[in-house]
Amino acid sequence: MDANTGINITVIRRDGSQQTLLSEPSQTTLMNLLYDEDQGIEAVCGGCASCATCHVLISEDWAEKLPARSEVENMLLQYQEHFDQRRSRLSCQVDLNADLEGLVVEIAPEE
What is the per-residue pLDDT for 111? 83
Give Cα 25 to chain centroid, integer Å.
16
Per-residue model confidence as pLDDT tens digits over 8-29: 999 999 999 999 999 999 999 9
Sheet holding 8-12, edge to edge: 18-22, 8-12, 103-107, 55-58, 88-90
- The ranges assigned to domains in the chain are 8-107
Cβ–Cβ < 8 Å for 87, 57: yes
Per-residue model confidence as pLDDT tens digits over 67-90: 999 999 999 999 999 999 999 999
Q: What is the pTM of this model?
A: 0.93
What is the per-residue pLDDT for 4? 56
> Hey, how many other C-beta atoms are within 10 angstroms of the C-beta on 33?
25
Q: How far is CA 37 from CA 46, 57, 85, in A?
A: 15, 17, 27
Decide if domain 8-107 falls under CATH 3.40.50.1010: no
